[in-house]
Amino acid sequence: MPTDLDPLVAATGLAASGLFSTYVVYEGPDAWSVAGGVVAEVVLKPDAIRCTKDGTVVERPWEGDPLAQVREFLEGLEAADWRAYGWSAFELAYAVAGRPVGNEVLLHLIVPRTEIRLSRGQALVRGVDPKEMALVEKALAGLEAEPEAGHRPVEVDTAVGVAGYRASVAAVVDRIRAGELQKAVVSRIVPVASDIDFPASYLAGRRANTPARSYLLDMGDLQAMGFSPETVVEVQADRTVASQPLAGTRALTGDADEDRRLREQLLTDPKELHEHAISVKVAVDELAGPCKPETVVVQEYMVIKERGSVQHLASRVVGRMPQEASPWDAFAAVFPAVTASGVPKHAAYDAISDCEPRARGLYAGTVMTVAQDGSMDAALALRSVFRRHGETWLQAGAGVVEHSVPEREVEETMEKLRCVAGRLVARPTESGATARAGLEKDLLEKHPKV
Protein backbone atom coordinates (compact mmCIF):
# COMPACT_ATOMS: atom_id res chain seq x y z
CA MET A 1 0.00 0.00 0.00
CA PRO A 2 1.26 3.54 -0.71
CA THR A 3 2.02 5.72 2.29
CA ASP A 4 3.47 9.17 2.76
CA LEU A 5 4.63 8.34 6.29
CA ASP A 6 8.25 8.44 7.33
CA PRO A 7 9.12 4.71 7.82
CA LEU A 8 10.37 5.52 11.34
CA VAL A 9 7.04 7.13 12.25
CA ALA A 10 5.08 4.26 10.70
CA ALA A 11 7.12 1.57 12.48
CA THR A 12 6.90 3.34 15.82
CA GLY A 13 3.19 3.97 15.42
CA LEU A 14 2.49 0.29 14.70
CA ALA A 15 4.49 -0.76 17.75
CA ALA A 16 2.53 1.68 19.92
CA SER A 17 -0.87 0.77 18.40
CA GLY A 18 -1.48 -2.20 20.69
CA LEU A 19 -2.12 -4.52 17.72
CA PHE A 20 0.64 -6.90 18.73
CA SER A 21 1.46 -8.24 22.19
CA THR A 22 4.69 -9.60 20.70
CA TYR A 23 6.60 -7.52 18.16
CA VAL A 24 10.03 -6.64 16.78
CA VAL A 25 10.85 -3.44 14.90
CA TYR A 26 14.13 -3.74 13.01
CA GLU A 27 15.80 -1.05 10.93
CA GLY A 28 17.84 -2.75 8.23
CA PRO A 29 20.16 -1.16 5.67
CA ASP A 30 17.34 -0.16 3.30
CA ALA A 31 14.00 -0.50 5.15
CA TRP A 32 12.25 -0.83 8.49
CA SER A 33 10.47 -4.07 9.34
CA VAL A 34 7.72 -4.65 11.89
CA ALA A 35 7.15 -8.27 12.88
CA GLY A 36 3.94 -8.78 14.87
CA GLY A 37 2.41 -11.84 16.46
CA VAL A 38 3.69 -15.40 16.26
CA VAL A 39 3.24 -18.14 13.65
CA ALA A 40 6.32 -20.08 14.72
CA GLU A 41 8.72 -19.57 17.61
CA VAL A 42 11.93 -21.00 18.97
CA VAL A 43 13.21 -20.27 22.49
CA LEU A 44 16.62 -21.62 23.45
CA LYS A 45 17.26 -22.09 27.18
CA PRO A 46 20.43 -23.32 28.91
CA ASP A 47 19.07 -26.85 29.19
CA ALA A 48 16.15 -27.06 26.72
CA ILE A 49 14.76 -25.78 23.45
CA ARG A 50 11.08 -24.89 23.06
CA CYS A 51 9.66 -24.94 19.53
CA THR A 52 6.19 -23.78 18.51
CA LYS A 53 4.76 -24.54 15.07
CA ASP A 54 1.18 -24.93 13.79
CA GLY A 55 -0.10 -24.35 17.32
CA THR A 56 1.94 -27.23 18.74
CA VAL A 57 4.57 -26.62 21.41
CA VAL A 58 7.41 -29.09 21.88
CA GLU A 59 10.07 -28.61 24.55
CA ARG A 60 13.03 -30.97 24.78
CA PRO A 61 16.58 -31.03 26.18
CA TRP A 62 19.37 -30.21 23.77
CA GLU A 63 22.89 -31.58 23.47
CA GLY A 64 25.91 -30.55 21.45
CA ASP A 65 25.73 -27.38 19.39
CA PRO A 66 22.71 -25.28 20.42
CA LEU A 67 22.75 -23.34 17.14
CA ALA A 68 22.31 -26.59 15.23
CA GLN A 69 19.03 -27.09 17.09
CA VAL A 70 17.82 -23.63 16.07
CA ARG A 71 18.88 -24.14 12.46
CA GLU A 72 17.10 -27.50 12.27
CA PHE A 73 13.83 -26.01 13.51
CA LEU A 74 13.91 -23.07 11.09
CA GLU A 75 14.82 -25.21 8.09
CA GLY A 76 11.83 -27.42 8.88
CA LEU A 77 9.32 -24.56 8.58
CA GLU A 78 6.87 -24.92 5.70
CA ALA A 79 5.77 -21.26 5.51
CA ALA A 80 6.77 -19.78 2.17
CA ASP A 81 9.48 -17.10 2.17
CA TRP A 82 9.59 -16.92 5.96
CA ARG A 83 11.66 -14.40 7.88
CA ALA A 84 12.40 -14.76 11.60
CA TYR A 85 13.11 -11.90 14.02
CA GLY A 86 14.41 -11.85 17.57
CA TRP A 87 17.45 -11.68 19.80
CA SER A 88 20.34 -13.61 21.26
CA ALA A 89 21.94 -13.19 24.68
CA PHE A 90 25.64 -12.50 25.08
CA GLU A 91 25.88 -15.72 27.12
CA LEU A 92 24.75 -17.79 24.13
CA ALA A 93 28.48 -17.84 23.40
CA TYR A 94 29.06 -19.51 26.77
CA ALA A 95 26.58 -22.26 25.90
CA VAL A 96 28.25 -22.83 22.53
CA ALA A 97 31.61 -23.07 24.33
CA GLY A 98 30.25 -25.47 26.96
CA ARG A 99 30.60 -22.98 29.83
CA PRO A 100 28.04 -22.78 32.67
CA VAL A 101 25.15 -20.45 31.88
CA GLY A 102 22.69 -18.90 34.33
CA ASN A 103 20.36 -17.12 31.89
CA GLU A 104 16.69 -17.98 31.58
CA VAL A 105 16.76 -17.44 27.78
CA LEU A 106 19.73 -17.55 25.39
CA LEU A 107 17.92 -16.96 22.09
CA HIS A 108 14.35 -16.10 21.13
CA LEU A 109 13.15 -15.94 17.50
CA ILE A 110 9.68 -15.59 16.04
CA VAL A 111 8.27 -15.96 12.56
CA PRO A 112 5.58 -13.27 12.70
CA ARG A 113 1.88 -13.63 12.02
CA THR A 114 2.02 -10.27 10.25
CA GLU A 115 5.10 -8.64 8.71
CA ILE A 116 5.23 -5.03 7.52
CA ARG A 117 8.17 -3.80 5.43
CA LEU A 118 8.37 -0.02 5.37
CA SER A 119 10.35 2.03 2.88
CA ARG A 120 9.94 5.54 1.55
CA GLY A 121 6.54 5.78 -0.16
CA GLN A 122 5.17 2.30 0.51
CA ALA A 123 4.34 -0.39 3.03
CA LEU A 124 4.32 -4.08 2.12
CA VAL A 125 1.98 -5.99 4.45
CA ARG A 126 2.15 -9.79 4.55
CA GLY A 127 0.28 -12.03 6.93
CA VAL A 128 -1.84 -15.09 7.65
CA ASP A 129 -4.77 -13.31 9.35
CA PRO A 130 -6.85 -11.06 7.02
CA LYS A 131 -8.47 -9.31 9.98
CA GLU A 132 -5.13 -8.38 11.49
CA MET A 133 -3.80 -7.22 8.11
CA ALA A 134 -6.85 -4.97 7.75
CA LEU A 135 -6.19 -3.57 11.22
CA VAL A 136 -2.60 -2.83 10.21
CA GLU A 137 -3.77 -0.97 7.10
CA LYS A 138 -6.23 1.05 9.18
CA ALA A 139 -3.61 1.81 11.81
CA LEU A 140 -1.18 3.04 9.15
CA ALA A 141 -3.85 5.20 7.53
CA GLY A 142 -4.66 6.78 10.90
CA LEU A 143 -1.12 7.68 11.95
CA GLU A 144 -0.06 11.31 12.03
CA ALA A 145 2.85 12.26 9.78
CA GLU A 146 4.43 14.17 12.66
CA PRO A 147 3.38 12.76 16.06
CA GLU A 148 2.73 15.31 18.77
CA ALA A 149 5.56 15.98 21.16
CA GLY A 150 4.89 16.86 24.78
CA HIS A 151 6.10 13.59 26.30
CA ARG A 152 7.54 13.84 29.78
CA PRO A 153 11.33 13.39 29.66
CA VAL A 154 12.98 10.95 32.04
CA GLU A 155 16.09 11.94 33.98
CA VAL A 156 18.80 9.33 34.47
CA ASP A 157 21.78 9.56 36.83
CA THR A 158 24.54 8.16 34.61
CA ALA A 159 27.14 8.50 37.38
CA VAL A 160 25.76 5.49 39.27
CA GLY A 161 28.41 2.82 39.88
CA VAL A 162 31.40 4.88 38.73
CA ALA A 163 33.67 3.99 41.66
CA GLY A 164 33.12 0.26 41.24
CA TYR A 165 33.70 0.57 37.51
CA ARG A 166 37.05 2.30 38.01
CA ALA A 167 38.10 -0.60 40.23
CA SER A 168 36.99 -3.13 37.60
CA VAL A 169 39.01 -1.40 34.88
CA ALA A 170 42.11 -1.34 37.09
CA ALA A 171 41.66 -5.05 37.90
CA VAL A 172 41.42 -5.96 34.20
CA VAL A 173 44.52 -3.88 33.38
CA ASP A 174 46.40 -5.90 36.01
CA ARG A 175 45.23 -9.17 34.39
CA ILE A 176 46.36 -7.94 30.97
CA ARG A 177 49.80 -6.99 32.30
CA ALA A 178 50.01 -10.43 33.90
CA GLY A 179 49.60 -11.95 30.41
CA GLU A 180 46.11 -13.43 30.86
CA LEU A 181 44.60 -11.58 27.89
CA GLN A 182 45.02 -8.59 25.57
CA LYS A 183 41.65 -6.87 25.86
CA ALA A 184 38.33 -7.11 27.70
CA VAL A 185 35.21 -5.02 27.30
CA VAL A 186 33.83 -4.36 30.77
CA SER A 187 30.44 -2.71 31.27
CA ARG A 188 28.45 -1.03 34.01
CA ILE A 189 24.70 -0.85 34.67
CA VAL A 190 22.71 2.35 35.21
CA PRO A 191 19.19 1.86 36.66
CA VAL A 192 16.21 3.83 35.31
CA ALA A 193 13.58 4.50 37.96
CA SER A 194 10.79 5.79 35.69
CA ASP A 195 8.29 3.76 33.66
CA ILE A 196 9.53 4.15 30.08
CA ASP A 197 7.40 4.53 26.94
CA PHE A 198 9.53 2.36 24.69
CA PRO A 199 8.00 3.32 21.30
CA ALA A 200 8.09 7.05 22.09
CA SER A 201 11.65 6.77 23.41
CA TYR A 202 12.67 4.87 20.28
CA LEU A 203 11.23 7.56 18.02
CA ALA A 204 12.94 10.36 19.95
CA GLY A 205 16.21 8.44 20.21
CA ARG A 206 16.37 7.43 16.56
CA ARG A 207 15.91 11.03 15.47
CA ALA A 208 18.95 11.97 17.56
CA ASN A 209 21.15 9.03 16.56
CA THR A 210 22.90 7.77 13.43
CA PRO A 211 23.12 4.01 14.02
CA ALA A 212 24.16 1.18 11.76
CA ARG A 213 20.90 -0.54 12.79
CA SER A 214 18.12 0.21 15.27
CA TYR A 215 15.50 -1.92 16.97
CA LEU A 216 12.50 -1.93 19.28
CA LEU A 217 11.07 -5.15 20.68
CA ASP A 218 8.60 -6.61 23.14
CA MET A 219 9.06 -10.38 23.43
CA GLY A 220 7.97 -12.43 26.40
CA ASP A 221 9.14 -10.63 29.52
CA LEU A 222 11.76 -8.54 27.70
CA GLN A 223 11.39 -5.05 26.26
CA ALA A 224 14.27 -3.25 24.61
CA MET A 225 15.08 -0.50 22.17
CA GLY A 226 18.42 0.70 20.91
CA PHE A 227 20.68 2.21 18.28
CA SER A 228 23.34 -0.30 17.33
CA PRO A 229 26.68 1.20 16.27
CA GLU A 230 27.72 -1.89 14.29
CA THR A 231 26.65 -5.21 12.87
CA VAL A 232 28.06 -8.44 14.23
CA VAL A 233 27.42 -10.25 10.96
CA GLU A 234 25.64 -9.62 7.68
CA VAL A 235 25.02 -12.57 5.36
CA GLN A 236 23.57 -12.11 1.89
CA ALA A 237 21.61 -14.79 0.03
CA ASP A 238 24.68 -15.32 -2.22
CA ARG A 239 26.72 -16.18 0.94
CA THR A 240 28.67 -12.94 1.02
CA VAL A 241 29.52 -12.24 4.66
CA ALA A 242 30.50 -8.99 6.37
CA SER A 243 31.39 -7.96 9.90
CA GLN A 244 31.87 -4.38 11.09
CA PRO A 245 34.18 -4.01 14.10
CA LEU A 246 34.14 -0.63 15.82
CA ALA A 247 36.69 0.05 18.53
CA GLY A 248 38.13 3.37 19.62
CA THR A 249 35.85 6.16 20.81
CA ARG A 250 35.66 9.92 21.29
CA ALA A 251 32.70 12.19 21.98
CA LEU A 252 30.68 14.12 19.41
CA THR A 253 29.97 17.50 20.96
CA GLY A 254 28.20 19.34 18.14
CA ASP A 255 31.01 21.89 17.97
CA ALA A 256 32.73 21.34 14.62
CA ASP A 257 36.17 22.48 15.75
CA GLU A 258 36.07 20.43 18.96
CA ASP A 259 34.81 17.35 17.13
CA ARG A 260 37.63 17.72 14.60
CA ARG A 261 40.17 17.98 17.41
CA LEU A 262 38.77 14.86 19.09
CA ARG A 263 38.76 13.00 15.78
CA GLU A 264 42.43 13.78 15.21
CA GLN A 265 43.14 12.70 18.77
CA LEU A 266 41.31 9.42 18.13
CA LEU A 267 43.27 8.76 14.93
CA THR A 268 46.62 9.23 16.72
CA ASP A 269 45.99 7.75 20.18
CA PRO A 270 48.21 4.62 20.57
CA LYS A 271 45.76 2.98 22.99
CA GLU A 272 42.79 3.44 20.64
CA LEU A 273 44.75 2.34 17.55
CA HIS A 274 45.98 -0.78 19.32
CA GLU A 275 42.51 -1.66 20.57
CA HIS A 276 41.07 -1.29 17.08
CA ALA A 277 43.85 -3.17 15.28
CA ILE A 278 43.58 -6.28 17.45
CA SER A 279 39.79 -6.29 16.99
CA VAL A 280 40.15 -6.22 13.20
CA LYS A 281 42.74 -9.01 13.32
CA VAL A 282 40.30 -11.20 15.28
CA ALA A 283 37.49 -10.44 12.81
CA VAL A 284 39.69 -11.49 9.88
CA ASP A 285 40.73 -14.70 11.60
CA GLU A 286 37.14 -15.55 12.54
CA LEU A 287 35.69 -15.03 9.06
CA ALA A 288 38.48 -17.14 7.56
CA GLY A 289 36.77 -20.12 9.24
CA PRO A 290 33.35 -20.26 7.52
CA CYS A 291 34.52 -18.32 4.43
CA LYS A 292 36.94 -19.33 1.72
CA PRO A 293 40.13 -17.88 3.25
CA GLU A 294 41.30 -16.26 0.02
CA THR A 295 38.08 -14.21 -0.14
CA VAL A 296 38.47 -12.56 3.28
CA VAL A 297 39.61 -8.93 2.99
CA VAL A 298 39.49 -5.74 5.03
CA GLN A 299 37.25 -3.57 2.88
CA GLU A 300 37.47 -0.46 5.08
CA TYR A 301 40.11 0.21 7.69
CA MET A 302 40.04 2.74 10.51
CA VAL A 303 37.53 5.13 9.00
CA ILE A 304 35.53 7.40 11.29
CA LYS A 305 31.87 6.54 11.87
CA GLU A 306 29.64 8.99 13.74
CA ARG A 307 27.13 7.24 16.01
CA GLY A 308 24.91 9.68 17.88
CA SER A 309 26.89 11.22 20.73
CA VAL A 310 30.16 9.48 19.83
CA GLN A 311 32.56 8.86 16.94
CA HIS A 312 34.38 5.57 16.43
CA LEU A 313 37.22 4.01 14.53
CA ALA A 314 35.49 1.56 12.17
CA SER A 315 36.55 -1.19 9.79
CA ARG A 316 34.66 -3.64 7.60
CA VAL A 317 35.78 -7.22 6.96
CA VAL A 318 34.13 -9.23 4.17
CA GLY A 319 34.37 -12.76 2.77
CA ARG A 320 32.42 -15.36 0.79
CA MET A 321 31.17 -18.68 2.17
CA PRO A 322 30.72 -21.78 -0.02
CA GLN A 323 27.17 -22.12 -1.35
CA GLU A 324 26.31 -25.03 0.93
CA ALA A 325 27.15 -23.04 4.07
CA SER A 326 24.51 -21.70 6.45
CA PRO A 327 24.27 -18.18 7.86
CA TRP A 328 24.50 -19.83 11.28
CA ASP A 329 28.05 -20.92 10.39
CA ALA A 330 29.02 -17.27 9.98
CA PHE A 331 27.16 -16.27 13.14
CA ALA A 332 28.88 -18.97 15.19
CA ALA A 333 32.28 -17.87 13.91
CA VAL A 334 32.04 -14.23 14.94
CA PHE A 335 29.62 -14.21 17.89
CA PRO A 336 29.91 -12.52 20.30
CA ALA A 337 31.41 -9.43 18.70
CA VAL A 338 35.06 -9.04 19.61
CA THR A 339 34.35 -5.33 20.18
CA ALA A 340 31.98 -6.23 23.03
CA SER A 341 33.90 -9.17 24.51
CA GLY A 342 37.69 -9.12 24.17
CA VAL A 343 40.87 -10.88 23.00
CA PRO A 344 41.17 -13.79 23.33
CA LYS A 345 37.46 -14.27 23.86
CA HIS A 346 37.52 -17.07 26.43
CA ALA A 347 39.90 -15.19 28.70
CA ALA A 348 37.74 -12.10 28.25
CA TYR A 349 34.67 -14.12 29.33
CA ASP A 350 36.46 -14.86 32.61
CA ALA A 351 37.28 -11.19 33.17
CA ILE A 352 33.73 -10.08 32.33
CA SER A 353 32.18 -12.70 34.62
CA ASP A 354 34.45 -11.66 37.48
CA CYS A 355 33.90 -7.91 37.08
CA GLU A 356 30.21 -7.63 36.20
CA PRO A 357 27.53 -8.31 38.82
CA ARG A 358 25.20 -10.42 36.66
CA ALA A 359 24.67 -12.02 33.27
CA ARG A 360 24.43 -9.54 30.41
CA GLY A 361 21.49 -11.09 28.59
CA LEU A 362 20.65 -9.05 25.50
CA TYR A 363 23.29 -6.41 26.24
CA ALA A 364 26.24 -7.09 23.86
CA GLY A 365 24.22 -9.90 22.28
CA THR A 366 22.32 -9.30 19.05
CA VAL A 367 18.97 -8.27 17.68
CA MET A 368 18.65 -10.15 14.44
CA THR A 369 16.67 -11.31 11.45
CA VAL A 370 17.26 -14.48 9.42
CA ALA A 371 15.39 -15.58 6.30
CA GLN A 372 14.60 -18.69 4.30
CA ASP A 373 16.84 -17.52 1.44
CA GLY A 374 19.94 -17.84 3.66
CA SER A 375 20.34 -14.16 4.52
CA MET A 376 20.95 -12.89 8.05
CA ASP A 377 21.44 -9.50 9.64
CA ALA A 378 22.55 -9.33 13.28
CA ALA A 379 23.03 -5.99 15.04
CA LEU A 380 25.21 -5.65 18.14
CA ALA A 381 22.89 -4.80 21.05
CA LEU A 382 24.51 -1.68 22.50
CA ARG A 383 23.30 1.92 23.13
CA SER A 384 20.05 0.44 24.42
CA VAL A 385 17.53 0.54 27.24
CA PHE A 386 16.22 -2.75 28.63
CA ARG A 387 13.25 -3.75 30.76
CA ARG A 388 12.77 -7.17 32.33
CA HIS A 389 11.03 -8.46 35.47
CA GLY A 390 9.93 -4.93 36.36
CA GLU A 391 13.46 -3.47 36.19
CA THR A 392 14.61 -0.91 33.60
CA TRP A 393 18.25 -0.11 32.97
CA LEU A 394 20.94 1.21 30.64
CA GLN A 395 24.32 -0.45 30.20
CA ALA A 396 27.58 0.72 28.64
CA GLY A 397 31.14 -0.52 28.51
CA ALA A 398 34.60 0.28 27.24
CA GLY A 399 37.44 -1.74 25.79
CA VAL A 400 40.19 -2.18 28.37
CA VAL A 401 43.75 -2.77 27.14
CA GLU A 402 47.14 -2.54 28.80
CA HIS A 403 47.36 1.25 28.52
CA SER A 404 43.80 1.96 29.65
CA VAL A 405 43.26 4.62 32.30
CA PRO A 406 40.18 4.06 34.52
CA GLU A 407 39.07 7.71 34.38
CA ARG A 408 39.13 7.72 30.56
CA GLU A 409 37.13 4.47 30.39
CA VAL A 410 34.53 5.95 32.75
CA GLU A 411 34.33 9.00 30.49
CA GLU A 412 33.82 6.72 27.48
CA THR A 413 30.87 4.98 29.13
CA MET A 414 29.36 8.40 29.85
CA GLU A 415 29.73 9.40 26.19
CA LYS A 416 27.99 6.22 25.08
CA LEU A 417 25.18 6.46 27.65
CA ARG A 418 24.29 9.92 26.31
CA CYS A 419 23.14 8.29 23.05
CA VAL A 420 20.09 6.97 24.92
CA ALA A 421 19.83 8.52 28.39
CA GLY A 422 18.73 11.96 27.21
CA ARG A 423 15.98 10.65 24.93
CA LEU A 424 13.86 8.58 27.32
CA VAL A 425 10.22 9.56 27.81
CA ALA A 426 7.69 8.41 30.39
CA ARG A 427 4.88 6.02 29.50
CA PRO A 428 1.33 7.37 28.96
CA THR A 429 -1.62 5.94 30.84
CA GLU A 430 -3.57 4.31 27.96
CA SER A 431 -2.70 0.65 27.53
CA GLY A 432 -1.97 -1.10 24.25
CA ALA A 433 -4.92 -3.43 24.78
CA THR A 434 -7.26 -0.43 25.00
CA ALA A 435 -5.82 1.01 21.79
CA ARG A 436 -6.24 -2.28 19.91
CA ALA A 437 -9.82 -2.69 21.13
CA GLY A 438 -10.65 0.78 19.83
CA LEU A 439 -9.14 0.01 16.44
CA GLU A 440 -11.04 -3.26 16.15
CA LYS A 441 -14.37 -1.67 17.14
CA ASP A 442 -13.96 1.13 14.60
CA LEU A 443 -12.94 -1.28 11.86
CA LEU A 444 -15.83 -3.69 12.46
CA GLU A 445 -18.36 -0.87 12.46
CA LYS A 446 -17.20 0.27 9.01
CA HIS A 447 -16.33 -3.16 7.59
CA PRO A 448 -18.55 -5.78 9.29
CA LYS A 449 -17.39 -8.57 6.95
CA VAL A 450 -13.77 -8.36 8.06
Active-site residue numbers?
230
Non-local (6+) Cβ contacts of 224 within 8 A are 87, 198, 215, 216, 217, 362, 367, 381, 384, 385, 386, 387
Tell me the angle at which helices 406-421 and 162-177 cross, rounded to the nearest 10 degrees. Answer: 130
AA letter at 36: G
Q: Which amino acid is at 337?
A: A
Q: What torsion do the CA atoms of 193, 195, 196, 200 make, to the nearest 10 degrees?
A: -140
Please give the backbone phi and psi of residue 116, each rounded to the nearest 5 degrees, phi first: -120, 125
Q: How far is CA 174 from the centre of its chain?
A: 31
In this structure, which long-range contacts are made by residues 39-42, counting pairs with CB atoms below 8 Å and at least 24 apart in sequence? 39/79, 39/110, 39/111, 39/112, 39/113, 39/128, 40/77, 40/79, 40/82, 40/84, 40/110, 40/111, 41/108, 41/109, 41/110, 41/111, 42/70, 42/73, 42/74, 42/84, 42/107, 42/108, 42/109
C-beta atoms surrounding 164 within 10 Å: 12
Signed CA dihedral, 429, 435, 437, 441: sign only: positive
Q: CA nearest 185: which of 194, 193, 177, 176? A: 176
Bridging pattern class, strands 366-371 and 376-380: antiparallel
